[in-house]
Amino acid sequence: MKLQNKEIAIVGGGPGGLTLAKLLQQEKIKVKVYERDLNKNARVQGSPLDLHKESGLAAIIKANLLEEFKNNFLPKADRKKIMDENAEVFFSDHEIKIEENFGNPHFRPEIDRGALRKILLESLQPETVVWNSHFIAMDKQGDGWLLHFKNGNSTYADIVIAADGANSKIRPYLTDIEPFYSGITMLEGTIYDAQNTVPKIFALLNGGKIMAFGNKKDILMGQKGNGEIGFYASFKADEHWEVNSGLNFNAKAELLEWFKTTYAEWSTIWHELFENTVVPFVPRPIYCMPLDQTWDALPNLTMLGDAAHVMPPFAGEGVNMAMRDALELCECLTCKQYSTLQEAISAYEISMRKRAANAAKESLDNGEIMHGEKALATILEFFNGHLQT
């Protein structure tokens, strides 16, 4: 067996890294996950995730965690409303999506990131995750690597898998290819106790998602399981808008004035969001890896998720791709088809890059559509057509 007596280090305890650890442990393989968070209770940011049948859900099923997932997902949170800048609803599937059908290929159940992380963490063997392990560097040692962490600890691994996200510190050990800016920036806000703090928006959202389009700008939002709302104001801007705007992202009044100016044609109903966001707002310039990226496979190092293929979020593929990566990487490492680790890793990386390029192309195209002159009409045409099929 290629992995017999091998020590595997996964750097990064997000969905991709944790899924891979679970799948490897099912194959009786020794693995540790090195995570920079201080402990399992560290706050998990971000909007809920929708898992897809061929990727995220496929990995959950392979990990024998479907029943746990069903006990923790957010029923009806995949329902959506599409509207214009005045909050006029042009499409809603709230009355149509009644059944939660895990057998339907179009069903994309939503789950809070924290809930998904908890499911994966609790499925692992005790002490699999080494907390407070902020990776800073590694050196070649024999056939493997000596990893160094900010807390002063070092550890040896025969194989290292980078699952440390878009700003991966391990990726440069494989390739010097860097992401490019997509031209789109998103301003993220989170609202606590949304039912009481933003009652109009809360009623409009009705437990699902909102996609609002107008004047080449968007507002995208979703209901979280803990009574919070996460939202994004999405718009085209220069790459360094965060600095060049001169905005203080801790000042709600200042961000409200920015919104009134930048989204001048938009209804005042959206002002609730900016008046009640828990500061700081978080600016997120959206990046994408080159679609033709390639590198030479190594026998002791690879990567998955955003570390390998960060892409815009406009196709909903980020976490799903990471979990699919974990599934395919585990299969390549443990199957008998490949006689060496380098062959197995190379096969995984070729497939992963192809999948990622296709998803990134779709996401980039969607981003252009969503921030174009005819965004609302084009999106409505897509969803109405999808509904009929």
Please compute the mean of the pLDDT values over residues 319-323 and round it to a whole number. 96
Q: What is the mean pLDDT of the chain?
A: 94
Q: What pLDDT score does 102 carry?
A: 77
Is pLDDT above 50 for 255? Answer: yes
Q: What is the pLDDT of residue 46?
A: 65
pLDDT digits (tens, 9 = 90+) for 157-170: 999 999 999 999 99
- As given in the structure block, the two tokens for residue 262 are 């930048």
Tell me the β-bridge partners of 230: 190, 222
- Per the annotation, does 117 bind a ligand? no
Q: Both 217 and 282 in a single domain?
A: yes
Please check whether residues 271 and 302 belong to one and the same domain: no
Residue 188 covered by a domain: yes
The 8-class DSSP code of residue 270 comes to: G
Beta-sheet strands, E only, within the chain: 8-11, 31-34, 49-50, 80-84, 89-92, 110-111, 129-130, 135-141, 144-149, 154-157, 159-162, 180-191, 209-214, 217-223, 229-236, 282-288, 301-303
- CATH code of 200's domain: 3.30.9.30
| Per-position b or e across 187-213, b if 16+ CB within 10 A of its CB | bbbbbeebeebbeebbebbeebbbbbb
In a domain, 378, yes or no: no
| Same domain, residue pair 354 and 274 | no
**Confidence at residue 76, expressed as pLDDT on a 0 to 100 scale:** 81
Q: Are residues 158 and 244 in the same domain?
A: no
pLDDT digits (tens, 9 = 90+) for 116-166: 999 999 999 999 999 999 999 999 999 999 999 999 999 999 999 999 999
Residue 389 falls inside a structural domain: no
Cis before 280 (ω within 30): yes
Instruction: Verify that 249 and 301 share a domain, yes or no.
Output: no
Does 47 score more than 80 pLDDT? Answer: no
Residue 35 covered by a domain: yes
169/300 same-domain check: yes
347: in domain: yes
Residue 314 sits in the same domain as residue 165: yes
Q: Which of 40-54, 130-144, 217-231 has the lowest mean pLDDT?
A: 40-54
What band does 94 get if pLDDT is binned at 50, 70 and 90? confident
Average pLDDT for 241-261 = 97
Q: Residue 45 above 70 pLDDT?
A: no
DSSP state of 74: B
387 within domain boundaries:
no
Rounded mean pLDDT, 72-92: 93
pLDDT at 386: 61
Q: End of a domain among 236, 258, 288? A: 288
Least confident segment among 29-43, 132-146, 360-374: 29-43
pLDDT in tens, 105-117: 677 888 988 899 9
Last residue of a domain, one of 247, 266, 288: 288
Q: Is 113 annotated as a binding residue?
A: yes
CATH number of the domain encompassing residue 26 = 3.50.50.60
Residue 388 has pLDDT above 60, yes or no: no
Specify whether 258 is located in the same domain as 202: yes
- For the chain, percent of residues with pLDDT exceeding 90: 84
Q: Judge if 184 and 263 occupy the same domain.
A: yes
The model's pLDDT over 178-201, given as tens digits with 9 standing for 90+, comes to: 999 999 999 999 999 999 999 999
Q: Within a domain: residue 213?
A: yes
Q: Is 50 annotated as a binding residue?
A: yes
Number of structural domains found in the chain: 2
Residue 336: domain span: 8-74+110-178+290-370
In angstroms, the CA 240 to CA 35 distance is 29
141 and 191 both lie in a single domain: no
Q: How confident is residue 49, by pLDDT bands cut at 50, 70 and 90?
A: confident
- Residue 80 in domain: no
Residue 306, annotated as binding a ligand: yes
Write down the pLDDT at residue 389.
46
Tell me what pLDDT residue 88 has.
Answer: 97
- With a pLDDT cut of 70, the percent of the chain lying above it is 96
pLDDT of the residue at 301: 98
pLDDT for the residue numbered 75: 85
Residues 192, 255 within the same domain: yes
Residues 55 and 127 in one domain: yes
Q: Which of 42-46, 56-60, 206-210, 264-268 is predicted least confidently? A: 42-46
Assess contact for 90 and 380: CB atoms under 8 A.
Answer: yes
Domain end point (choices 288, 307, 339): 288
